[in-house]
Structure 1
Amino acid sequence: MIIATDMPEVAKCVVSQCAYNADDACHARAITIGEGADPDCDTYFDSNKHTRSSRTAGVGACKIEDCTHNRDFECTADSIQVGASAGTANCQTYTRH
């Protein structure tokens, strides 16, 4: 069964060493942002093998309570971008309220 949901898409990801990244695009089904106070991409993992799916990832959950885009642990941004920061993959769209 395929469940259709309305999620913000990951418009761009420049963390090239992630298994879900191909050509600066995330191809996971959905990603999770955050753990504690850090807006890290919890779905990121380093791999030499990269997915080649044609789908574009959505943001399935956001655990960063102080982000202006977080409503009931779901992202309300139109889309997000993921980038590298201090050796981790971070949501670059994160905005503290």
Structure 2
Amino acid sequence: MIIATDMPEVSKCAATQCAYNADDACHARAITIGDGADPDCDTFFTNSKHTRSSRTAGVGACKMEDCKFNDDFECSAESIQVGHTGKSNNCLSYTH
């Protein structure tokens, strides 16, 4: 069974080493933005075997309680971008 939900899409991803990245686009079914000092992309991992690239990722969950787009641990932004902040891959749309 496939469940259709409305999620903000990942409009751009600069984490080129991620298994889900193809041509600066995220192709995971959904990503999770983690908590902590920075809004890391918890879905990020490196692997060269991922081959699906037809879908655009959505934001399934957001653990950044202090983000203005966080609504009951779900992202309410229209879309987000993921990119590098130092050595981390972060949600660049995070707004305190």
TM-score, reference length from structure 1: 0.93
Aligned-pair CA distance for 1:88:
1.2
Once residues 15 and 88 of structure 2 are traced to their aligned partners in structure 1, the CA distance between those partners, rounded to angstroms, is: 9
Which residue is 2:6 aligned to?
A: 6
Aligned-pair CA distance for 1:62:
0.2
Higher strand share: 1
Which residue is 1:94 aligned to?
A: 94
After TM superposition, list the pairs within 5 Å mapping 1:47-66 onto structure 2. Answer: 47-66=47-66
Map Cα deviations across residues 2-33 of structure 1 (whole Å, 9 max, x no partner).
10000000000011000000000000000000
After TM superposition, list the pairs within 5 Å mapping 1:15-94 onto structure 2. Answer: 15-94=15-94
Aligned-pair CA distance for 1:50:
4.0
Map Cα deviations across residues 18-70 of structure 1 (whole Å, 9 max, x no partner).
00000000000000002223200000012233433200000000000000000
SS at match of 1:40: coil
Q: Do 1:22 and 1:50's aligned partners in 2 also have CA atoms closer than 8 Å?
A: no
Which one-letter code corresponds to 2:19 in the other structure? A
Q: Do 1:22 and 1:51's aligned partners in 2 also have CA atoms closer than 8 Å?
A: no
Once residues 23 and 49 of structure 2 are traced to their aligned partners in structure 1, the CA distance between those partners, rounded to angstroms, is: 13
CA-atom RMSD, angstroms? 1.1
Unaligned runs of 5+ in 1: none
Report % sequence identity: 75
Aligned-pair CA distance for 1:85:
1.2
Which one-letter code corresponds to 1:36 in the other structure? G
